[in-house]
């Protein structure tokens, strides 16, 4: 069997999650014994000052015997993060006026509401207006 045929046989099912500069690839593959396992690959794009770019990739191999424990811990960890911080994204990248906690003018939702209602940069447009 050629290498190309072997590669085609190994890739059984795939899904892609694009998340900003990161892309996650979930691939079900086959072992030589024709059993299945999962690979999760994170690919992150890095852009250089000259406009060129490259990708860094990290891969996890997850075997069936570890699925239950892996999912249990993943669920526990994601639940913890949401319980502690909620599901709103808080970061400098996602909010231009974000300030680190403890600084004098820490970011708050009220800042966004005040800014959007008074800045004149935001216009409420209805579909009827178009």
Cβ atoms of 38 and 62 closer than 8 Å: yes
Going from the C-alpha of 107 to that of each of 88, 104, 123, the distances in angstroms are 13, 9, 22
Q: According to the per-residue pLDDT averaged within each range, which of 67-71, 88-92, 110-114 is highest?
A: 67-71
Average pLDDT, the chain: 77
Task: Name the helix (H) or strand (E) containing 66.
Answer: none
Read off the pLDDT band of 127 (50, 70, 90).
very low
Give the pLDDT score at 69. 98
Give the pLDDT score at 107. 43
What predicted TM-score, i.e. pTM, was given to this entire model? Answer: 0.59
Give the pLDDT score at 95. 58
Structure tokens at 55: 């990708």
């Amino acid at each position: 069997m050629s290498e190309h045929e072997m590669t085609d046989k190994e890739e059984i099912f795939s899904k892609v999650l694009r998340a900003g500069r990161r892309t996650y690839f979930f691939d079900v593959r086959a072992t030589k014994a024709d059993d299945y396992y999962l690979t999760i690959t994170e690919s992150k794009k890095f852009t250089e000052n000259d406009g060129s770019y490259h990708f860094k990739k990290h891969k996890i191999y997850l075997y069936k015997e570890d699925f239950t424990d892996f999912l249990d811990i993943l669920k526990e960890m994601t639940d913890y993060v949401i319980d502690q911080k909620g599901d709103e994204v808080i970061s400098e990248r996602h909010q231009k006026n974000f300030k680190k906690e403890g600084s004098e003018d820490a970011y708050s939702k009220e800042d966004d509401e005040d800014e959007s209602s008074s800045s004149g940069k935001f216009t409420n447009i209805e579909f009827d207006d178009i």
